[in-house]
Structure formats: C-alpha cells, structure tokens
A and B are shown apart, each in its own frame.
Chain A
Amino acid sequence: MTMSQQIATVAMALLAGALKVSTPFLFVSLGECLTEKSGRVNLGLEGTLIMGAMVGYATAYETGNPWLGVCAAAMAGMILGAMHGLICALPRVNDIAVGIALMQFGTAFAFFLGKPYIQPEAPHLPDIPIGAWFDVGGTGELQLSPLLVCGSVLAFGMAWGLRQTRWGLIIRTVGESTVGARALGFRVDLVRLLSTAAGGALAGIGGSFLSLAYPGIWSEALSSGQGLIAVALVIFARWNPIYCLFASLLFGAAGALGPALQSVGVTEAYHLFNAVPYILTLLIMIGSSSRVAALRAAPAELSITR
C-alpha cells in the first residue's frame, strides 16, 4: 500500500467509526444534557449505559425482537435515572457522589444479572447500508444505524424543545435558579426528577446500541468509559444538543483511531491509541473550562462548573 492509500484507508475507517461508534456517545450526552439543563449532574450514566446494554440484550434474546430490547433498555435507564433523581431530592445529598455510587451499582447489577447472557446470541438491530451510495473503494463497511438517525433527529428536536416549548422553559428556569423557579411555583425537585429519569432512559438506549448494534454482543468489557466521556462531552458541547451531535461524531472518529491504525499495520501503540478519546476529553475540558467564573452557557445551578 502506498502512503496515500493508507491515509485513505484510515480516513475511511475514521468515517465509518464516526458513524458506528458515535451513537452511544450521542444518546448519553443528550440524556446528560437534558439532566444538566435542569441543574443536576448525573455521573452515573456509565452504569446506566451498561445496564441498558445488558437489559436490551437480554430482552432481545428472550423475545427475539431487538426493538423491544431498545424499549426495555430505556425503561431500565429510566429507573436508574429516577433513583438518582429521588435520592438527590433529599436535602444534604451530594449529586456527584450519588452519581459515582449509581455508576458502581448499575455496573455491578448489570454484571450480576447479565451473567447468563454472555454466551447466547441475540438478534441485532438492522443497519441501513449506505456504502453502495459512494463509488469509492473500501466503503462497503459504511453502515448507518437507525438509532443514529433517531438520535440525530432527537438532537435537533431537543434543541428546539428546550428553546421553544413551555416544558423547555421550565427546565431551563429550574436549571438557572432554584429559588426563582420555586417563586414561580414550579416544583423544582419534580422537574429535576423527570429530567434525570428521561436522561437515564436516553442513556439506556445508548447502552442498547452497544449490545444490539455495535459491537453487538453482551460482555463485561463492553463499555470502556463511553458513558463518562459523554458526560464530559456535554461541557464541550456547551449544553447545546446539536453540538452534542457533532461532538459525538468527533469522538466516534477518535475512538476508531486505534483499530484504524491497526488495520494499516501500525500496531505498536494500540493501547495508547485507545486512550486518545480520554486524552482528548481531558484536553477539551481543560480548554473549555474557566477559572474565573462558571461557563457562560452552563446552567447556573450546576455543581460541576462551580
């Protein structure tokens, strides 16, 4: 292979990776975006993601219908999100610590219940093949998941909903000022509970993508911090659902760097390239945070930007 061919292969793999790997990032970051807009942080979405992957896979295996799996994953994620919302509604409870606890709980619960499903094979979600649309060599593996399409539509829908609807206004008000929202007669804890539960449901769907589409199996090594990266992504995306979409695509490409380089013979630092998404996230957080004041776009009640 010549140099330019290699670069083309890597670039194509990055594009395929962006389309393939970005869906979990997208759903988790949209869920976290919604939760954070209401003024609360749920760091437990990593656990929710794994729980969603397990429940989705198990349901798809038992019923034979992958879409039922997606619904079940959303339900499981909603329950975990609601747990976070309920516990954090208690006075003097720290939402960041509860997030870490739920991350451990969700992960352990998924491993605990998911043990019998490591071997059997569940039906996959169908793909939309788009490789045929391009007349370039090596594009055969370009595939578009219907969940990515749903997520992209949802990103625009959420951006519109937060800006234009009454519910969006209530969520943003609650996120900007607890006191102000109370004075207006909104039930702050209820709004946050619903936002966190909905965010958890989205993260659960993201998890079901992992086990039902790509990589498409259930194992205990399925998620490697995608849920956490997605939480950091929301800061990078400035709490804007549409930016969440672009950021997720970027991170999907970054995650595909290791395997892509491996495919052209660069196997030396495989593990280091796997660390690229985390390093990128950290750099982005360093670059996009601010010492002087909370970020301008951040909801004022958010504890992570204070």
Chain B
Amino acid sequence: MTATPISSAGTSRRASQGAGPSAAIVAPNWNGLIEPTQYIVVPLLAIAVSVVLFSILLLVLGKSPATFFQLLWRGGFADGFAVQNTLERAAPLIFAALCVAIPARMGMVVIAEGPLVLGGLASAAAALPCLHRLPPLLILGVMALAAVMAGGACIGFVGVLRVRRGVNETISSLLLSYIVIAVLNFLVEGPLRDPGSTTKPSTQPIGAENMIGMIPGTEVHWGIIIAFVLCAAAHLLIYRTTGGFGARVIGGNIRAALAQGLPVAKLTTGFCMVAGACAGLAGFFEVAAIHGQANSSLAVGFGFSAILVSFMARHDPLVIPVVAIAMGGIQAAGGLIQRHMHLPDASVQLLQGLLFVVLLASETLYGRLRVRQAFSQRSSTATGGGSSNPEPAVSPQERRA
C-alpha cells in the first residue's frame, strides 16, 4: 500500500465532516428529536434495567434494595467526605477509560489494567535513584515521564502486534496485564522491596515531601484536574486533528482508510501509545498522590472498571468524567454497603458487571428507537444520523482484514 497524499483528500475530509450535522437537521420531526437524544435515553434505560434486575436479586436474598441504593448514595455522593472519596477513585478511572476510548475510535477493544500497573511501578522505580538528590517537583516530573513512557510502551506494543502480526488486541492486552502484575509482585517482593514494609510488600516510599498535594480546601489530589484537562485534550485530538480524523476513518472502514492511503500502521501504533500513556498516568497518580509507593494496591481493577466507563460514555472523552464519577461513587460506597447490609464485598462489582452486560445488550437499540412513519422520511433521518455520528465501529464486521 503506497501513501498517496493528494491535496483534494484533505478538502474532502473537511467537507464530509461538515456535512454530518447539517444533514441531521433536515427532518425536524419526532425522529429528528430521537436521533440525538438516544445517546442519553438508551444508557439511562440500561441503568434502569440493571437496577431492577439487581433489586430482584437483593429481594431474593432477603435484602432491601431501597437500603442498598440509599447507602450507595450516602457512600458515594451525599456529603463532602463521600464526594472526595468518589473523586479520588474517579481520577484513575478517567485516565484508564481514556486508554480504552482512544483505541476504540479505531475499532479496538483494549484492557487498561496492564499500562496502569506498569505506569505506577515505573514511576515508583524511577523515583528511587532521585530521592534526596533532586527537588520534589523534578522528582515528580521524572516519575510522570517514566509512567507515561511505560504505559505508552505497553499499549504501543499491543498496537504494534495488531498491525504487524494481526494479534487480537483484547487478548494481548489482557495477557499483558497478567504479566505486568506478575512483574509487579516479583519486584516488590524481591529486588525493589523496602525492608520496612512488613504487612504488604512495597517499594521504598517516595516520602511525603515528594508527593502530590491536595487541591486547596479539599482532600482531593490534583490528578482529577489533570484528568479533566486530558479528557478535553483527547476530545480535540480525536475531533479536531488530522490524525484523529484518520483514526476515526480506520474505525469506520479500514479498507477505505487503506484505499485513501492513510498511514494505518503508524496511526494505530501512535494512538495506542497515547492511550497507554493516559493509563500510565493513572498509575503515576495512584503512586504519587495516594499510596506513595508501588504495591499490589495498584492492581485493584481500575483498568477493568474503566472498560465499562468508556463503553458507557460511548468512548466520548467529554462524557467519560461524568460516567467515571458515577462509577467512582459506586465503588466508594462498597465498604459502607458491605458493613451495613452484610453483603459480600463483591456486590458492587456484581452491580457493575450486570450494568456492563445490560449496557452492551442495549447497544442494539441505537438507530431503532423511532416513531413509525413514511419510509422515505425514515431513511433520510437514518443517513443523517449515521454521518453525524462517526461512532467507532467496534462491530466485528468492520474490523481489519
């Protein structure tokens, strides 16, 4: 495949981009209203169905659903303490969800657990030689750089395998997460173990003076602000750059992308590296702002919950923070629910898993929620909606050959 950068290709891209929204306004009828709102209606419907299913399960077990969801609200959102707790969990979820969302634009499903853990491990390891030698801000810089590079390399490797060898990215990133966790356990119990850590093997603490501070007036670290900024940046990257457009073309139709002469291999690898770097930052903030050292607390499953977050946000970086905060709240309430209702600690996980399954099943409703009317009108809105929403085609039919 030879790259043929024709100038007209650039103009036609912009033209097709602009055509989307205007085509959607063509038919100001009920379906014109349903078309844009379905992206809110369908997920809400999925949430409602999961809540009902979960309530039935609780009733069968003789527990009160009302108490459960009341505690969920209390533990996640009711007061300042709960909200801070929630935001603390939302930060890694946002970073890791970006790691899922960016490759999803190219039709790839990636697991973010590996780069998250590796990023945390790399930042803790990179801090060790710098301690007491460099000023705190510089140490943090070194740590962040190490995390970004480690995370980027991790998912970048997954992207390379996909492009060069056709290795399925979901399986390879899942395997990498197991490998990375094994390496983490090896390092914190072996070469990098701090002799002082008796109960939970850990690396040497980076020290309170080197850790990231809290946002003034709160108990929430700066990571959440960085996460919001990064989401905006990811939005710009996907929707406002040539590379982002190329990635969306790849996700939409790989053959068209190849025929256009898009550098598919480079774009795939590059975007995967960016995605991995985001997840690496999640690990960095976990180490530099929460734990102060790397240990098995890094691998508590943020990378897995993030898949749900990204899918629920329909891989839209601007929606990810909202969903991540909601999910962080659910996780934050887990302990409270466990104590008050004597439910197993997995009950929050179960709610999440159920939500994920129902949510994916609900994807079948997109484009099918419409008021019955004449066929011609129906088809006109259908095409308008289609082009205005260059959704990642995660459908197996449109994956690369």
Interface residues of A (CB under 8 A from B): 43, 83, 87, 90-98, 100-102, 104-109, 111-112, 115, 224-225, 228-229, 231-232, 268-272, 274-275, 278-279, 281-282, 285-286, 289-294, 303-306
Contact = CB atoms under 8 A, between A and B. Distances in A.
Interface in B180-229: 182-183, 185-186, 189-190
A297 B99 CA distance: 32
Contact of A231 (B171, B349, B364): B171
B66 to A, nearest CB: 19
Contacts of B189: 271
B360 interface: yes
Q: 8 tightest CB-CB pairs across the interface, nearest first?
A: A303-B396, A105-B353, A275-B182, A111-B346, A108-B349, A271-B186, A90-B364, A101-B356
A306 B393 CA distance: 14
A108 B179 contact: no
The prevalent SS among residues of B at the interface is helix
A305 B162 CA distance: 10
A65 to B, nearest CB: 25
Contacts of A304: 168, 170-171
Given A90-B364, A228-B175, A271-B182, A305 B165 contact: no
A39 B352 CA distance: 28
B172 interface: yes
B364 A290 contact: no
Contacts of B366: 92
A285 B167 contact: yes
A87 B346 contact: no
B357 A111 contact: no
Contact of B346 (A43, A112, A225): A112
15 contacts: A43-B170, A87-B360, A90-B364, A91-B364, A92-B367, A94-B395, A95-B396, A102-B353, A105-B356, A109-B350, A231-B171, A271-B190, A278-B175, A289-B161, A294-B401
B179 to A, nearest CB: 5
Nearest to A87: B361
B49 interface: no
Interface string B353-372: 11011011101101100000
Given A87-B361, A225-B178, 20 more contacts: A93-B364, A95-B396, A97-B311, A98-B360, A105-B354, A108-B346, A111-B345, A269-B190, A270-B186, A271-B183, A271-B190, A275-B178, A275-B182, A278-B179, A282-B172, A285-B171, A285-B172, A285-B175, A289-B165, A289-B168
The prevalent SS among residues of A at the interface is helix
Contacts of A269: 186, 190
Contacts of A107: 349, 353
Name the interface size band of chain B.
Answer: 35 or more
B36 interface: no
A100 B307 contact: yes
A304 B174 CA distance: 14
Contact of B357 (A83, A96, A281): A83
A286 B399 CA distance: 19
Contacts of B171: 43, 228, 231-232, 285, 304
Contact of A93 (B161, B163, B167, B360): B360
Contacts of A270: 186
B339 interface: no
Nearest to B254: A306
Contacts of A294: 401
Interface of B: 109, 111, 161, 163-168, 170-172, 174-176, 178-179, 182-183, 185-186, 189-190, 304, 307-308, 311, 343-347, 349-350, 352-354, 356-357, 359-361, 363-364, 366-367, 394-396, 399-401
A110 B217 CA distance: 42
B181 to A, nearest CB: 8
A232 B161 CA distance: 15
Given A94-B395, A285-B171, A101 B357 contact: yes
**Which of A115, A291, A293 has its CB near the most chain B CB atoms (within 10 A)?**
A291
B300 to A, nearest CB: 13
A257 to B, nearest CB: 13
B103 to A, nearest CB: 12
A101 B360 contact: yes
Contacts of A112: 343-344, 346-347, 349-350
A108 B185 contact: no
**Which of A87, A101, A111, A232 has its CB near the most chain B CB atoms (within 10 A)?**
A101
Given A100-B170, A228-B175, A306-B396, A290 B352 contact: no
Nearest to A86: B361
Contacts of A224: 178
Given A291-B165, A303-B399, A268 B346 contact: no
